[in-house]
Each structure stands twice: as structure tokens, then as C-alpha cells.
Structure 1
Amino acid sequence: MKRDLTEKQFAWLLILPAVILVFGLDLYPLIETLIYSLRDMNLTANHYGSFVGLKNYITVLSDTVFWQSLGRTAYFAIVSIVLELGLGMAIALLINDKKIKGRRFLQSIIILPWAIPTIVNGAMWNWIYNPDFGALNALLKQLHIIDQYQSWLGTPWTAMNMILLADVWKMTPIVVIFFLAALQLTNASVYEAAQIDGAGLLRRFWYITLPNLKSILLVVVVMRTMEAFKVFDIIYATTRGGPADGTMVLTFQAYLKAFNNLEYSTGATYSYLIALLIALLTFSYVRLLKRKEAK
């Protein structure tokens, strides 16, 4: 005799494919990577997985290479997020203004840089920065800003900032879209009333626009922090961590440890430390926002 499924059983039956997919693509690799980080998986030394506990974490955290890479990653994340938030908010405010001609067209094409795959974006900027025939050198020389072609990726400091420029160009559009969506939900009558009461442009921005953007601002900061600390593609496509390790960020260091040096445990340890850093930063952002709202 057939037995009908209960509502709970039917619900589990519906979500089972998604659960299997998530476990196979996300949870299982995470668990396996955690196990690797607690073992000695160094194929170059013929070590095949003896359990070492937290030894890999202690070794990595006591290594100056890790802290140097963390410093570069933090610099990349902070500068890119600040620039993207500033530019994104300015552009969103500009194209949200109904007085701007062609604003609908601008709103439709603003997303194009973000739609380009990161590896393609990196290759494109690599050509732009080329010291012999790059477009940047040609433009600056025609404008008489430089006298001779420069090697934009030839020194550590310059290379890091050029990669930052490429990342900001690609990621600012998605920040614009988030801010623009929030701005368009703001009641226009509030601005009109404030303007009638004599509130200037800066006052309206500070007391009306910014508070309305606070929630979306947290979302953007968390999202961009996660992406910035995981930056890899643009580094791989342009400098491969060079010159002189000037762009050697944490994720690229993890990649080299795991796939170049075959130190899988060290690479896994780097990956989990990156995830821990992102989780701590996200938790801090949320706590900070809640504290401000409580006040």
C-alpha cells in the first residue's frame, strides 16, 4: 500500500538535489582543505599526510613571508575599497540626477567593465601597460606628460598601484549599481522638503542621502572586502606576484605553495587563514554598524 509523503519529507525531497550540489561543490572541498591544513602534505619531501595538528598554522604565522603578503593584501583591499566607494557613490549620484542628459544610456552601459571576465581584464591592462607599445605610454607621451615610455609594471610599488587602477576600473561599476538602486528607492519629496527648508547640497547629502545608503554601504564593503582579500586573477594575468614579490598577495602565495612548490598543507593553511581574516572583518563590520544604529 502506498504511503503519502508528509509535508516535511516532501520539502526535504525538493531541496535534496541542492543539498547534494552544495555539499559536493562547497562543503566537501572545505572539509578536505581543512584536513590538508592539519596534515603534512609535502610531495617534494615525500610526505604523504601524517597528522601534525596546528603545526602548519604556527609555521605560517611565524613566517615573515606571510606577514609581508598580508600587508600587500591589506593595502590592496583598503585602497581599492576606498576608491571604489568614493568613485561609485559620485558616479551613482551623477547619473541619478534627472537633469543629466543621456542618463538612461549611461545607466545601461556602466556595468560593461564589470561584465568583462577578470582574466580578460588583466590581459587587457597588461597590454595597456606594455613598456614598448602600450596605450598608456602612447597617450601620456602625446599629452606631453612623460618624455619617454615607462615600465609601469617594472617596480614593486608602481606595479601594485597599476594593478589597483585596473581593479578599480573593473569593480567600480558594480558599486555604482548598488548605490544607484538605493538612491532610486529614496523618496524624492524628502529632498524637495529639505531644499525648501534651505538645506544645501552637502547638508542634503550628509543628512538624507548617506543615512539611506548606510545599509547598502555595509553590503558593498563586505562584498568588496571578501573579493579584495581573494584577489588572484588580475595578479596572475599581469605580474604573477612580481616584480620582486611586489604584488605577492596572500591568495597568490597560497597558489604558489600548493601548485608550484607542491606544499599542499601550506597552501591549505594559507587558504583557511584568508577565510578567517575575511570572517573576522565581516563580523567587525556588522558589529560596528549595529552599534551605530543602536546609538
Structure 2
Amino acid sequence: MRAKNLYRPISDNPQVLGLLLTLPALIAILAVVFFPIVSSFWLSLHQKDLSRPQFDAFIGLKNYFNLLHDSRYLNSLWVTLRFSLTSVILEVVLGVSTALVLNQRFVGRGFVRGLMILPWAMPSIVNAAMWKWIYNADYGALNALLTQLHLIDSYKIWLADPKWATILIILANVWKETPFTVILVLAALQTIPEDLYEAARVDGASAWRSFLHITLPLIAPVLMVAAMLQFIWGFQTFELVYVVTGGGPFSTTELTTLRIYATTFRSLRFGYGAAMAYLTSLAILIPAVFYIRSAYRRVVEM
């Protein structure tokens, strides 16, 4: 009877009981996520150079101020922004177009839908190795195909050209990430009532007008989610560029992830590399916050 009274206050208070039940998960999250975030931020406030440990010291925000004048880092930030925005635009356009086709009824539709997921499901390092082989100047499939189609006279070193290297890296990224947009848009298309299209056809609306006034507004929230996720993932791209171009030629494909990696693990400047990571995260966080606020405002208005 006494033991029963001891446990009754906990069972009678659902908030306390819920806290106790989630406490192990909260501890794990703090240990795995929160502690590394705080620890790395504290590291970014130090001059931590493993090649010169005698000069390690607390320097406050000096690493962040130095980054604002670091031409190599600013160039990588611009390259990453251009890479992400171009990829997002292509992925959204191709994703919507492909989803519209897959939403139609045709023989083998289920098989084609399943096939679409393969590029996105492929491990990033495998995808990068595949595209490195395709772009190879000596035995790559791209040169072989273009030569057989008589579009080029001889094999070309595509990745040695800054312009082509950027374009080909973007195309490789679009090939892998577009299926994610296709899946989201296809799911959104299947929630649109067919009655809306029938009413539009009765009113004499063309297929293009139906798309502009029915389909596009109804899938717009999903497109916003897909675009924001793809933009963030663009800033996180590492394996593709590391394997295919290594950031070259002349740093034209050096993304911020590659610059952070080189600074931290090659130059052993851990404090400066941590500051790079946080400043890059801030560049991603700003548009994400604006998106979340606009999405929340739209939901409240509805």
C-alpha cells in the first residue's frame, strides 16, 4: 500500500510521466547533437592549429572576421550558391515535368515509378564514382557517345575546362536529386480532385491553363518544401565534387564543404574550419527562416 502511494503522484501527472519516458531520448540527443554543436562553436572561437600547437589561444570572433576577407572562402561560397540555385531550378522544372508524365495512365507506370527512385537511393560516393567514369577523358561514356553521334571530332578533357566542369557537376547532381522532387510532386498531384479538371474542361480551359490555375497553386507548398530541402542539400554536397573534380580546375567547382574539409583536415586549422562551418550554416539558415515564416503565415491565413 505504501509503495502504491509512492508511484501515484507520477502516474497522476502526465507531464512528469511524459518527461520521464522521454528523458533517455533527450539525454541521447544532448550527447549526440547539442554537445558537438556547442563544442565546435567554442572551438571556432580559438586559434586551434595542430601544425602549430604552441600558438593555440582564445581569439573570440577573429576567425569570423578573417573569413569575411578570405577570398578563397568567399569564392567557394559564391560557387556553392550558384551550384545550389541552378540545381534547384533544374530539379524543380524536371521534377514537375516528370511527375506530370508519371501521373498519367500508361502500361508499365508502376515499374517506371519504381525505377525513378534508383538515382536518389544510390549512395553518394557510388554516384560520384559513376559520373567520374562517364566524364573520363580517355574512356568515358560521354566522349564515346558524342563521338559516335559525330558531335565532336575527338575525345575532350571536359573536367579541365572551368565552364564545362561546373555544368557537368550540376548535371550530375540534378540527375541524383531530381527523383526526390518527382516523388513529392507526384504525391501532391494524386491529392488533387479530378472534379476540378473536369469543371475546367467544361469551361473550355486548355491543359496549360488548367496547369497554371489548378495544378500549380495546389502543388506550390510541396514545391516550396522540395526547393528548400534541395537548396540546403546543395550546400551539403561533398562526395560528388571531391571525387569528380576535387574542386578544380582553378577552384571553379570548390564548394564550401570542400573548402572546410581542406582547411580542417589538410591544413589542420580546426578553429578556422569550425568558423567556416558555422558561417556557412548561417548562410543556409537565413533563407530557411524566411521560408518557415512565410509557410507559417500561409497556414495561419488558411
For residue 97 of structure 2, what is the aligned residue in structure 1?
90
State the shift of 1:9 in Å. Answer: 3.1
Counterpart of 2:212, as a letter, is W
For residue 185 of structure 2, what is the aligned residue in structure 1?
179
For residue 247 of structure 1, what is the aligned residue in structure 2?
253
Of 213, 219, 222, 2:219 maps to 213
**CA deviation string 1:232-277 (max 9, x = no partner):** 1111121111122121111110111000000001110110011111
Superposed, 1:188-203 pairs within 5 Å as: 188-203=194-209
Residue 116 in structure 1 maps to residue 129 in structure 2? no
State the shift of 1:153 in Å. Answer: 1.1
State the shift of 1:105 in Å. Answer: 1.5
Residue 33 in structure 1 maps to residue 73 in structure 2? no
For residue 271 of structure 2, what is the aligned residue in structure 1?
265
State the shift of 1:15 in Å. Answer: 1.4
Counterpart of 2:64, as a letter, is Y
Of 163, 170, 175, 1:169 maps to 175
Counterpart of 1:79, as a letter, is T
User: For 2:242 and 2:19, how far apart are their aligned partners in 1?
Assistant: 42
**CA deviation string 1:125-165 (max 9, x = no partner):** 00011100011111111111111111121122211211111
Alpha carbons 1:131, 1:150 under 8 Å: kept: yes
Counterpart of 1:64, as a letter, is S
For residue 68 of structure 1, what is the aligned residue in structure 2?
75
Structure 2 regions of 5+ residues with no counterpart?
none
User: For 1:258 and 1:290, how far apart are their aligned partners in 2?
Assistant: 38
State the shift of 1:24 in Å. Answer: 2.1
Alpha carbons 1:218, 1:286 under 8 Å: kept: no
Q: What's the secondary structure of 2:159's corresponding residue?
A: coil
Q: What's the secondary structure of 1:153's corresponding residue?
A: helix
Identical pairs, percent: 40
Alpha carbons 1:72, 1:248 under 8 Å: kept: yes
User: For 1:17 and 1:120, how far apart are their aligned partners in 2?
Assistant: 36
Counterpart of 1:234, as a letter, is L
Counterpart of 1:161, as a letter, is I
Q: What's the secondary structure of 2:160's corresponding residue?
A: coil
Cα RMSD (Å) of the superposition?
A: 1.8
User: For 1:166 and 1:47, how far apart are their aligned partners in 2?
Assistant: 44
**CA deviation string 1:63-101 (max 9, x = no partner):** 111211111001100110000000000000011012x33
Larger radius of gyration: 2
Alpha carbons 1:251, 1:270 under 8 Å: kept: no
Alpha carbons 1:40, 1:47 under 8 Å: kept: no
User: For 2:23 and 2:54, how far apart are their aligned partners in 1?
Assistant: 38
User: For 2:224 and 2:157, how far apart are their aligned partners in 1?
Assistant: 37
Counterpart of 1:94, as a letter, is V
State the shift of 1:289 in Å. Answer: 5.2
User: For 1:146 and 1:12, how far apart are their aligned partners in 2?
Assistant: 67
Counterpart of 2:166, as a letter, is M
Structure 1 regions of 5+ residues with no counterpart?
none
State the shift of 1:10 in Å. Answer: 2.5
Q: What's the secondary structure of 1:53's corresponding residue?
A: coil
